[in-house]
Amino acid sequence: MSAPGSPAGSGPAGDGPAGKAAAGSGPAGGEPARAAYDPWAAILGRIDDAAALAGISADVHRMLRVPERVLEVAVPVRMDDGRVEVFTGWRVHHDTTRGPAKGGVRFHPGLNAPEVSALAADMTLKTAVVGIPFGGGKGGVRCDPSSLSSGELERLTRRYTFEVASMLGPDRDVPAPDVNTDERVMAWILDTIDMLHGGRSMPGVVTGKPLSVGGMRLHAGATASGVLRCVRAVFSELGIPLAGSRAVLQGFGKVGAPLAFLMSSGGMRLVAVGDAGGAVESAGGIDVGLLADHVRRAGTVAGFSGAHPLDPADLWSVPAEVAVPAALEGALDAPQALSLQAKVVVEAANGPTTPAGDSVLADRGVTVVPDILANAGGVTASYFEWAQGRQGYPWGEDLVASRLAGNMEEAFGGVWAKAASLGVSMRRAAGALALERVAEAMEVRGLFP
In a domain, 168, yes or no: yes
In a domain, 101, yes or no: yes
| pLDDT value for 103 | 96
CA 45 centroid distance within chain: 19
Percent of the chain with pLDDT over 70: 92
In a domain, 173, yes or no: yes
Lowest mean pLDDT segment, chosen from 9-23, 228-242, 244-258: 9-23
Decide if pLDDT at 9 tops 90. Answer: no
In a domain, 163, yes or no: yes
| pLDDT value for 106 | 96
Read off the pLDDT band of 36 (50, 70, 90). low
324 to 183, 202, 296, 310, 370: CA distances (angstroms): 25, 36, 21, 17, 11
Read off the pLDDT band of 17 (50, 70, 90). very low
| Catalytic (active site) residue 138 | yes
pLDDT digits (tens, 9 = 90+) for 198-242: 988 999 999 999 999 999 998 889 999 999 999 999 999 999 999
- Selected catalytic residue, list 20, 126, 138, 254: 138
Rounded to an integer, the average pLDDT of 391-409 is 94
In a domain, 312, yes or no: no
DSSP assignment string, 10-69: -----SS----SSTT--S-TTPPPGGG--HHHHHHHHHHHHHHHHT--HHHHHHHTS-SE
Decide if pLDDT at 322 tops 50. Answer: yes
pLDDT digits (tens, 9 = 90+) for 144-161: 999 999 999 999 999 999
| pLDDT value for 1 | 43
pLDDT digits (tens, 9 = 90+) for 47-65: 999 999 999 999 999 999 9
How many domains does the structure of the chain reveal? 1
In a domain, 152, yes or no: yes
In a domain, 424, yes or no: no
pLDDT digits (tens, 9 = 90+) for 64-85: 999 999 999 999 999 999 999 9
In a domain, 126, yes or no: yes
Domain span at 152: 66-207
Decide if pLDDT at 351 tops 80. Answer: yes
For residue 71, give the CATH number of its domain.
3.40.50.10860
| pLDDT value for 330 | 87
Instruction: Specify the pTM.
Output: 0.88
Percent of the chain with pLDDT over 90: 87
